[in-house]
Structure 1
Amino acid sequence: MKRQPLWQYKQISAELIRKIESGELVVNSKLPSEKLLCEQYDVSRITVRKALAELEEKHYITRRQGQGSFVKAHFEDAGISYIDNNSEDLRRLGHSVYIELHEFSILADGEETKVRRIMQMNNSEYLYRVNQVYISDRRPIIQRETFMSFADFPLLTSAELQNTELMPLLARKFDLNLKRLHHEISTEVEDIPSRLYGIPNTSPRESYIKAKTTYTNEENRTVYLSNATTAASSKVFFVRHKEENVMSEPHILLTRVDNRLVHGQVGVTWTKTLGANLILVANDQAAQDILQQKLMKSTAESSGAQIRFFTLQKTIDVIQKAADRQKIFIVVKTPEDALTLIKGNVPIKELNVGNMHFAPGKEEITKKVYVDQSDKDALMGAVNMGVNVYIQDVPDDHKTEVNF
C-alpha cells in the first residue's frame, strides 16, 4: 500500500483553501470526489480524507452524507456580517473580487494617537496598519483601513494578507471568539468628485454609509479596529481610491507559443527579461495535470514569478479581472490556442512564436519552428486581427515577422 508523508495532506488542504479563497471554488460548489482527488494529487484515500477533515475543521467546507463535500461561506454560522466578509457576499451575488494589499506596516513610534487611545494602547506598543482595496469586476469598490495590536496578532505576514479577507483570516489563525465583534453604522452626506466613480457625476453630493468594526479580547480591550465607507446607493461598501489603481485592461506583457509551455528558457530567461511577475499557462490539458504543473511551478519559482494554470475558456473569462499589480506573461501550446484567446477578446497585442516541434506534414520555418497549414492559418488569423506576430526563440534573437 502506498504511504505518503504526513505533511502531504497539508499541501492538498492548502491548495484547496487557495482555490476557495481565490473564488476558483465558489460557495455551495461541490468539491471533486475523494477518488478524483486521489487521482489528481497521486495520494491515498486516507491522505485526502485528512485534508478534507482539516478543511471542515477550518469551516471551509461542509460534508454531506452520501453527497460529498461542498464549499461553505466562511463562518456563515458565526455571526460575521457582510461588513467583515465583503468578498464572499460579492462572489455569492456573481461578482468577481480580488483584494489588493496596498499597505502593511508596523507602527512603533507612537503614530496614530487617536487610534491608540481607542485601542487603549500606549505609544511604545507595536500597532499594525493594513490597507486593502477590493476590486470587483475590474472596479475598486471598497478600501478598508484596519489597525491591530501586534501583541494580540503576532507575526502576520504580507503574503498572508494578499487577496485575503482579514477578519476571517484572523479568526482562523488566532481562534477568535467572533461574538465579540461590534459594529457601528452611521450615515452622512459628502461631496463626491466625478473621478471617484470614473463616470459623469449626476449629483455633486452623495449619501455615504460609514461603518466601524471592532473586536475586543477577553480583557475587553479593543485589539482590532477597521473603518469602511460606502455610497448608500451602491449596496456594497465603497470608498475613495487612488485614480492610478483604475486599470483600463490587464497588463499582458507578451504571449508566447511554445509546445513545451514553461521550461527554463520561458520560466527564467523570458520572464526576467519581460519583468513579469505572473506566468499564465493557458492550456486545457495542463490545467488538469497536477504532475505537469509541479514541474512548471519549480521553474517559475526560480524566476521569482507566480504561475497559474487555466483552461482557455477560464483565461477568457477571468483575464479582465486581473489586478493592476500583475504583469502577465501568457504561454500557450499552439497557434490555434492563441487565436482562441484573441477571438475571446483577450487583449493580446504581441504573439511570440517560440518552440513548435517537428511532426509529419510540417515544414521548417526556423530551426525551432515547424508549421503545417492549420498553424499558418491560425497565425495569419492573429495577424489579420491586428496582433504583432513574430518568431523569436530568445530575447536577444532577431525577430522574424510572420507572413505566410
Structure 2
Amino acid sequence: MSAGASPSVETTASRSPSRAPSGPARAWALALLALGAAGAGIPSPLYPAYQAQLGFSDVTLTVVYAVYPLVSVPAVFLLGPLGDRFPPRRVMRCGIAVAAAGSLALALATGTGWLILGRVAYGLALAVMTGAGVAVATSGADKVRAGAVSAIVFILGTGLGPVLGGALTGYGPRPGLLPFGVDLVLLGIVFVGLGTVREPGPSADGGASLGPTAGGPGVTRSARRALVVAAVNGFLGWAVVGLFLGLISSVAQRFLDLRDPLVAGGIAGALLVWSTLTVPAVTRLGPRRSQIVGLVALAASLVVLALGVTTLVGVLVACVVSGLANGLLYGGATTVVATTAPPERASGTAAAVYSAFYLGAGLPTLLVGVLTTLLPLDTALSTIAVGTLALTALMIVVSATDSRRAVVRRAPEGSGGPGRVRSR
C-alpha cells in the first residue's frame, strides 16, 4: 500500500540496489534487530537485583544506566554507516560478536565494572548492527510495508527484553546469568542464520559500494526536513518508553509496593505490545498524519506522568496511551526512513535517524537519575515529563506545518491524485 510514502522521496526510494537481499536474508536481519533491541532491554528489571547483590548506591546505578545511551547514541551515528562501506553480513556478524561479549559480562557480573563493560559493549554492538540491519530489513519493492514490519519487530524485541529479564532473573546465582545466557544462545543462532545474506557485487563504477560520503543521489531538501521531523518525533516517542523501561522497577517497588521483577517487566512489555498494535495504522494514515496523531496521544500520556504515577491505575493509563503514541510516532518515522534513504546511503540514513531514537530511549531516564540526587523520584519524573510535554507541543505545530507544505507541493498534480494521498 502506498498511502504512507513521502512525496518528495520517490526519486530516490523507487530505486532498488542491485542484488537486493533475499526474503530469508531480510528475515534474519529482522531477527537481528529484534534480538539487539531485546538484549538492550533485558537489564531494565534487573537493576534492583544487581543493586541489592552488589551493594552500590543510587548514584552508581544512574552511572551504570547512563553508560549505555552515552555510548550507543554517538556510536550509532558514527558506526551505523559501516553497512554502506562494507558487506552488511560481515558488519552484522561483527555486531553480534561484540553483543556476545557484552552479554557474557552482564551474565557473570561480580561488580559494577562488569556491568559498565557489558553496557558499553552492547551499546557499540547495537550501533554496528543498526544501520546494516535496517538497510537489509527494509530492502525490496514495498518500502512502506518493510518500514512497518521493521518497526513492529524492533518494538516487539524491545518489549521482549524486560519480560525475559524479569522472568528469568530469579534463577541462578547471579541476576543476569540465565537471561543473558539465553541471549547468548539466540545470538549464536542469528549469527549462523545471517549466512543467507549474500555479499554485494561490485557497483557500477567497478568498486565496492561506498558510504554516505561517496557519490550517488543525495536527499532533497524536503526529504531532509521530513527526516529531521521524523527523528525528533521518534525521539519523543522513545523518550517516554525509555522512562518506563528505565524506571518502572523503581516506581513499582517504591510507590506501588510491587516487588516481583516479572511484574515490572510485564508492565514494560505491555507498553510495547500496545505500541506494536498501532504500527499497522501508519499504512492507512500515512507517516506524517500518524506522527501528528501520535504526538497528541503522547501529550496526553505526559500529562498523566506529570501529575504523578503513585497509583497502579495511573501507571497503566500512562503505559497504554504512551504505547499507542509510540507505535504511531516510531512507525511513521521508520516509514519515512525506508522511503527516503537512497540505496547507496541506506545504512547511514537509518543510523542517523536511529541515533535520535536511542537518545530518546536513554536521555530522559538519565536526567531523572541526575535529578534524584536533588529531588524525590516522583518529583524528578514529573519535572522531566513537563519538559518533554513542552517539546511535544512544539513538534505538533512543526509536524502539522510540514504536512501542510507537503500537500501544497503535490497540489499541482491534482487534488485527488495518488501524489496527494502520499503526502499525508
Q: Indicate the structure whose relative CO is greater, using CA pairs within 8 Å and at least 6 residues apart.
A: 2
TM-score by length of 1: 0.26
Greater strand share, 1 or 2? Answer: 1
Question: Larger C-alpha radius of gyration, 1 or 2?
Answer: 1
